[in-house]
Structure 1
Amino acid sequence: MTNATLRRSQLVVPGNDVEVLDHAAASPADEVILDLEDSVRSSEKTEARERIVDALIENDWDDKLVSCRINGLNTRWWYDDVVTLGTNAGEHIDSFVLPKTDSADMVTGLDFLLTQVEVNAGLPSGSIGVEAQIESALGMSNVIEVAHAEERLDSLIFGPGDYSASIGVGGLTTGHSNLYPGHYWHYALSRLVHAAKGAGLQAIDGLYADFEDEEGFQEACNRAKMLGCDGKWVIHPKQVEHANTVFAPTEEQARLATQITEAYEEARREGQQTATFEGEIIDDATFRMAKNIMERAERAGVL
């Protein structure tokens, strides 16, 4: 994973609610996503843009990433979303989330406009990243090409709601289901993770709609982590702590990873062909896994 920024929790908040926007700035979430798409009605999108600009300027976001989910490229709002936010508050924006990303061309189109906005606003080229949200069968089919589309891409995000509608699933829940005997989104998440990691991007699991079901949410986080996800969308503050905990190594994992790394490096310094730890051989793959855990633990404050 080349992008070292923590995205264990991505708190999504509606862009038309001033009070919620202000509270989001104080959230312990690693990233806050100010939404202009699904959570904002058509009649309120223009006003919501201005509210987001004000919130970006007036609040302190220094301890977290802040992103804005624009409207899809098949709508009449996305152009003004990018120009208005990038021009007036671009220095406060870490990335734009591109919903319903179906092809690499869509990422390239957003990249082209963003480049012009950055130039006109006096921002460094490429300073605003892009996070591509995969929400359809077509997008999932093209996810590898999407992952390699542009250098400003930071992550791929799974969107289970629209994806469910796209493939015609049998349930009406978003982000989970008790009707399927196994991990409901195993294939989709695994495919997205492989595409993301092959391009050096982070992979983020989508929302879990039942925010009162803390046990179910934690189980969803655990499953996503085991598949290689780096974090998860959260739609309620009570989900943030669970996501931050699950997607960070435990102190014991960090300790073991440190010991394995030290044993491997010491063996190499001494010219030994084989490194061992507690009677087990440490191969190159184990060493790389241990280094990844150490890096995540350091970023999460565990080490």
Structure 2
Amino acid sequence: MMAKAAASAADHVFLDLEDAVAPSMKDSARGMVIDALHSLDWSGKVRCVRVNDLASPHFIDDVSELVAKAGTVLDTIMVPKVMTPADLQFVDRLLGMLETRAGLQRQIGIEILIEEVPGLLNVDSICAASPRLEAAVLGVGDYSASQRIDRRAINGHPDYPGDLWHYARFKLVVACRANGVQAIDGPFVDLKNLDGYRRQAREAALLGFDGKWALHPDQIAVALDEFSPSAEEVRFAREVSGAFAAHESQGVGAFSHNGLMVDVALVRLLRNTLLKADLFGM
């Protein structure tokens, strides 16, 4: 599975030491992950490992061995069940000490999972707690258990009048944007339901998320499609931005372009599309 992940079209891969590994296999799985980080070709991908949570007896071994044995080939670690800013600050400080001991020349980034009620309550201060933080992920499975949400409602239910996850998603994206952190939508576990996955990915993209987890190879292409700007979107953004620059040079701040009112607020929105286009080489 790790080899398939390395060969996939995903632009970020996390290898899992937490939920995917039985307690009796934690030590051996850690060794397999360290070996995979060294031996597989991860070109073009962010290399991440999800460690066990801070309350687990496996957490300290996960982090210390990863930094000591794979720190040079590891981009980020993912910390699950983060609940307070102090959780993130502790991991930041620990990584700093381990990096110094290992003689690493660069910092390892942190990604966090918001999947407990205290974590969502504190997400604003959590996202401001460490300069190492690169991404925050909404994990709806564990969060549902934490809030005691009915299992039948996790992916929508006809008896619930609205989007069950809108508040949590919106709150997480705002916290991320305020602190320069990437916002990532969590998993969709009905692996054969690609239409449902696409719907969730599109909703997340509309809200401002930067990406969505893919649990199965079939979900990767859908996520890339929904979170990447289309050629038409890029063309339109460049056309309108160019027209705005031309009008601005003549002292005009707002104008009509093919029936569309263009002002600095619209151009600011279009810059997000252009930033993605530059990132993707479009």
Aligned residues: 281
SS in 2 for 1:203: strand
Matches within 5 A, 1:28-67: 28-67=9-48
Q: CA RMSD in A?
A: 1.3
Distance in structure 2 (CA, Å) of the matches to 1:213 and 1:248: 21
What amino acid sits opposite 1:177 in the alignment? G
Q: 2:98 aligns with which of 96, 117, 137?
A: 117
Q: 1:286 aligns with which of 261, 266, 279?
A: 266
Deviations 1:181-200 (A, max 9, x none): 43221111010001111111
The corresponding residue for 1:156 is 136
Is 1:100 matched with 2:94? no
The corresponding residue for 2:211 is 231
Q: 1:85 aligns with which of 63, 66, 75?
A: 66
Structure 1 gaps, min length 5 = 1-19
Contact kept, 8 Å, 2:115 with 2:142, in 1: the verdict is: yes
Q: 1:41 to 1:143 in 2, by over 3 A?
A: same
Higher RCO (CA 8 Å, separation ≥ 6 residues): 1
Contact kept, 8 Å, 1:264 with 1:276, in 2: the verdict is: no
Distance in structure 2 (CA, Å) of the matches to 1:275 and 1:265: 11
SS in 1 for 2:9: coil
Larger helix proportion of the pair: 2
Distance in structure 1 (CA, Å) of the matches to 2:110 and 2:152: 30
The corresponding residue for 1:196 is 176
1:273 positional shift: 3.2
The corresponding residue for 2:250 is 270
1:261 positional shift: 1.2
Matches within 5 A, 1:118-267: 118-125=99-106, 127-172=107-152, 176-179=155-158, 180-267=160-247
TM-score norm. by structure 1 comes to 0.89
SS in 2 for 1:97: strand
**Which deviates more from structure 2 when the two are superposed, residues 244-253 or residues 280-289?**
280-289
Question: Matched residues, percent identical?
Answer: 37
Structure 2 gaps, min length 5 = none
TM-score norm. by structure 2 comes to 0.96
Q: 1:74 aligns with which of 41, 52, 55?
A: 55
Contact kept, 8 Å, 1:101 with 1:134, in 2: the verdict is: yes
